[in-house]
């Protein structure tokens, strides 16, 4: 028996919901790591931002996006958003030292 359009839509939405949940958990794990990086940088008076690393990561993520058939511009925008948040965290951690 063929699924109805609504059943297909419901299955797709369920998959999207699962992917969204996985992304949130992965972002939480990523931020745990970056918090640790922030503490390490603060302890050793290292700058919150590392432009050379950010440039390497941008290039790497753009390449991965292309391989995955994801718009590299979107991947870069996402990365820039995340990095801006991380830098804010690192700056705050350093000010608390």
pLDDT digits (tens, 9 = 90+) for 20-73: 999 999 999 999 999 999 999 999 999 999 999 999 999 999 999 999 999 999
DSSP code of 53? H
pLDDT at 1 over 90: no
Residue with tokens 């369920």: 14
Domains and CATH numbers, the chain: 5-96 (1.20.59.10)
Note the pLDDT of residue 28: 97
CA neighbor of 96 nearest in space, from 34, 37, 38: 38
């Amino acid at each position: 028996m063929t699924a109805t359009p609504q059943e297909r839509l419901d299955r797709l939405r369920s998959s999207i919901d699962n992917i969204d949940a996985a992304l949130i958990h992965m972002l939480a794990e990523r931020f745990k790591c970056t918090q640790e990086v922030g503490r390490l940088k603060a302890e050793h008076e290292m700058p919150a931002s590392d432009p050379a690393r950010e440039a390497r990561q941008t290039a790497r993520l753009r390449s991965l996006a292309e391989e995955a058939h994801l718009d590299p511009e979107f991947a870069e925008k996402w990365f820039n958003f995340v990095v801006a948040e991380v830098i804010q965290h690192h700056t705050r951690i350093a000010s608390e030292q």
